[in-house]
A and B are shown apart, each in its own frame.
Chain A
């Protein structure tokens, strides 16, 4: 898939609580095809502590208006700087990067936590386009940490789990009643312990599972070899051979 480096214009910004925001970005011409689970490398301007680009998943794609949306959690200096951007500002992206989700499966479960919810919106829409209505389970410590949920309602059956019980069922996503339903395919993105728990459950029950990893990256295009995961077949580049992997490729990673 051809990659591009492009200046986008920010045409929409939504603040979602204290930690999250979305940026909707206008492409100057026609967006290239973007698979669910792919990501962009965002340039962070105007912050002297930040040198490298930051990898961010593609949250939503609107091919009619040639826009894409990013959902970003403020965790450090780069994401804090990105939060200062306003409508009308430009944002330089290298995109679309990585190998996304397969879109396989009939009875599909999506499990997302925190910023890991980001790629699941575009994934849900791509599954819908194939005639699949997934079950979508979103988790977080508190309701505030589940930045988007209404957007998913028309796309599938939505379940929410919060550790403090402030929204949906109290507990972890893996304890939610929807989690133990009848599925043949699970897609997951979120904190590592969550993804490992989901993947172990899937493997134990013969369910195909795809996980989307968030390793630290420098180049994002397979050149520096900084982002590797210790897969069963040796070190693999998360940015190029992932970020989405089949859980069966990562049993070593799952068990440590």
Chain B
């Protein structure tokens, strides 16, 4: 009833977890039956180990939070050697979120992950700054987005999902550019650039001054962008941004997403993904829906 497809991937249900909010899945195994998830998108992985940004890295904001973790991760080699063997037997789609500061770095990570049998897809995080192009985000210009996707496409042979940043004037243009460059799917949205100031101490809350906004406050923007993109591309769209309940997930599905990812909500309730799966089942039963795909994109 809840089964859905993203390119070559079959998902038991449309509920996946968002990169950077669910660790490698292991952190949640006491709370969640990981085999009941449609997929797990693990932490952003880069060519080399990264220390990430200085503390403080987070601030709570109305119905959301800002983060400035800065892609702290063990690097692709340690991921392949130490992390992959621990998680490869999980009975769900394990997707690696791939990040980099140059096209070469993206390609290196993607080709190393390509060799791992039990990883059926990568999610290319193109929200990162391109160090060689003055720090301009890969995902903010159609030509740059197409270029990085095109190069990764040459070395990566499985399902290639490209994760879009909402910090652009026209997200549709970027989605079309990465579709043309060979993406099999797009996921959106990554965090919105934001900022908050501690007026008592007269300084920003984050060590980096600005950071990424996530949580319920971003949901209407995310639903709008998913709806726009779903109407403009042929490849499947994965929706995320502020999902806490099954009703939130249904908004994204109706707006055209074939699957969803749950992020910040995992911090509020580590078992939230199970409640969303149960809630989708309940919704289908209540509305006499035999196949969840029947409501995808009805708006």
Contacts and interface: CB of A to CB of B under 8 A. Distances in A.
Contact of A3 (B31, B56, B65): B31
A224 B267 contact: yes
B69 A225 contact: yes
A66 interface: no
Query: Which of B27, B54, B65, B215 lies at the interface centre, i.e. has the most chain A CB atoms within 10 A of its CB?
Result: B27
A107 to B, nearest CB: 34
A53 B268 contact: yes
A218 B72 contact: no
12 contacts: A51-B268, A52-B267, A94-B31, A94-B270, A216-B58, A218-B65, A219-B267, A221-B27, A224-B69, A226-B58, A228-B55, A230-B55
Interface of B is mostly: loop
Contacts of B266: 219, 223
Interface in A15-62: 43, 48-53
Interface of B: 20-23, 27-28, 30-31, 51-52, 54-60, 62-65, 67, 69, 72, 215-216, 264, 266-271
Contacts of B23: 221-223
Query: Which of A4, A49, A221 lies at the interface centre, i.e. has the most chain B CB atoms within 10 A of its CB?
Result: A221
Given A5-B270, A235-B52, A235-B72, A228 B57 contact: yes
Interface string A194-228: 00000000000000000000011011111111111
B51 A224 contact: no
Contacts of B67: 218, 224, 226
Contacts of A215: 55-56
A143 interface: no
Query: Which of A53, A226, A240 lies at the interface centre, i.e. has the most chain B CB atoms within 10 A of its CB?
Result: A226
A99 to B, nearest CB: 14
A230 B56 CA distance: 11
Contact of B52 (A3, A216, A225, A229): A225
9 interchain residue pairs of minimum CB distance: A223-B23, A226-B58, A219-B267, A3-B30, A223-B27, A218-B267, A226-B57, A225-B69, A225-B72
A2 interface: yes
A49 B219 CA distance: 17
Contacts of A48: 62-63
A52 B60 CA distance: 7
Task: Assign chain A's interface to a size class.
Answer: 20 to 34
A43 B51 CA distance: 30
B251 to A, nearest CB: 19
A228 B267 contact: no
A52 B55 CA distance: 18
Contacts of B72: 225, 228, 235
Contacts of B60: 50-52
B51 A235 contact: yes
A54 B67 CA distance: 17
B107 to A, nearest CB: 25
A224 B56 CA distance: 13
A235 B71 CA distance: 12
Contacts of B271: 5
B57 A225 contact: yes
Given A222-B27, A223-B22, 6 more contacts: A52-B65, A218-B65, A218-B67, A219-B267, A225-B20, A227-B57
A12 interface: no
B66 to A, nearest CB: 10
A94 B270 CA distance: 8
Contacts of A227: 55, 57
A51 B215 CA distance: 9
A236 B266 CA distance: 21
A218 B55 contact: no
A229 B30 CA distance: 25
Contacts of A49: 62
B267 A53 contact: yes
Contact of B268 (A2, A52, A222): A52
A176 B170 CA distance: 64
Contacts of B215: 51
Given A49-B62, A230-B55, A224 B30 contact: no
B34 to A, nearest CB: 13
